[in-house]
Chain A
Amino acid sequence: QVQLVQSGSELKKPGASVKISCKASGYTFTGYSINWVRQAPGQGLEYMGWINTNTGNPTYAQGFTGRFVFSLDTSVSTAYLQISSLKAEDTAVYYCARGTFLDYWGQGTLVTVSS
């Protein structure tokens, strides 16, 4: 069965970096793009962008350029989201999700940024 399993919660200080993983199983990894979605506490879903799992080409939504980097390791069917220069407002649950219309989702990774 299709699964996306994300890495565990992170507690980081402002200015630090974090790298979240999203490991796919149950399907051909390069057959579907991987999307990233942010959800701040008590807020709605915010689309961050996606990465083409064939070419590795990322596309970032407005507001997610510069400090946010999507990457892949296709040998282990895993996508990554790295956030640098963390700020308190980056505190959120980050989700990965598969494909054009996000048919399967990871369980989410809580990133807490606090001094």
Chain B
Amino acid sequence: EIVLTQSPGTLTLSPGERATLSCRASQSVDNYLAWYQQKPGQAPRLLIYYASARATGIPDRFSGSGSGTDFTLTISRLEPEDFAVFYCQQYDSSPKTFGQGTKVEIK
């Protein structure tokens, strides 16, 4: 199974700052990669699919890039509501797998 490794584990930033989250796959997943945001007590929410396509209703401050094994989620200017845990997931091969998550916390 494909292993996804996210870094850093925790990112401590202030509102208005730029956040850059990384996801590395143990083998190529082409562009079959999604990003999710999860806030405490809530279900995850799809942000990005096909590595760079924003899901419906997702603000354009969220952007995804990459292909193959290296992917990035960028939040251009953090809003207070953006602080959460973010997960990447590959759906190139079965079973779909998640990364372990990156927590973006308020400085």
Give min CB distance, A101 to chain B, whole Å: 4
Q: How far is the CA of A105 from the CA of B39 in the complex (A)?
A: 14
Q: Is the CB of B95 within 8 A of A105?
A: no
Q: Is the CB of B36 within 8 A of A102?
A: yes
| Complex interface bits, A30-67 against B, C-beta within 8 A gives 1, otherwise 0 | 00000101000000111101100000000101100000
| Chain B interface bracket (under 10, 10 to 19, 20 to 34, 35 or more) | 20 to 34
Q: Which of A47, A104, A105, A108 contacts B89 (CB 8 A)?
A: A47
Q: Is the CB of A105 within 8 A of B44?
A: yes
Q: Is the CB of B95 within 8 A of A45?
A: no
Q: Which residue of A lies closest to B100 (CB)?
A: A44
Task: Let me know if B60 is at the binding interface, CB within 8 A.
Answer: no
Task: Let me know if B1 is at the binding interface, CB within 8 A.
Answer: yes
Q: Is the CB of B43 within 8 A of A46?
A: no
Q: Is the CB of A102 within 8 A of B101?
A: no
Interface size in chain A (residues, C-beta < 8 A): 22
Q: Which of B44, B49, B50, B94 contacts A45 (CB 8 A)?
A: B44
Q: Given A35-B96, A44-B101, does the pair A95, B55 have CB atoms closer than 8 Å?
A: no
Q: Which of B55, B85, B98, B101 contacts A47 (CB 8 A)?
A: B98
Q: How far is the CA of A20 from the CA of B81 in the complex (A)?
A: 31
Task: Let me know if A28 is at the binding interface, CB within 8 A.
Answer: no
Q: Is the CB of A59 within 8 A of B94?
A: yes
Q: How far is the CA of A15 from the CA of B105 in the complex (A)?
A: 39
Inter-chain contacts of A46 with B (CB < 8 A): 98
Q: How far is the CA of A44 from the CA of B89 in the complex (A)?
A: 12
Q: Is the CB of A106 within 8 A of B91?
A: no
Q: How far is the CA of A49 from the CA of B101 in the complex (A)?
A: 19
Task: Let me know if B83 is at the binding interface, CB within 8 A.
Answer: no
Inter-chain contacts of A101 with B (CB < 8 A): 34, 46, 49-50, 89, 91
Seen from chain A, the residues whose Cβ lies within 8 Å of a Cβ on chain B are 35, 37, 44-47, 49-50, 59, 61-62, 95, 97, 100-108
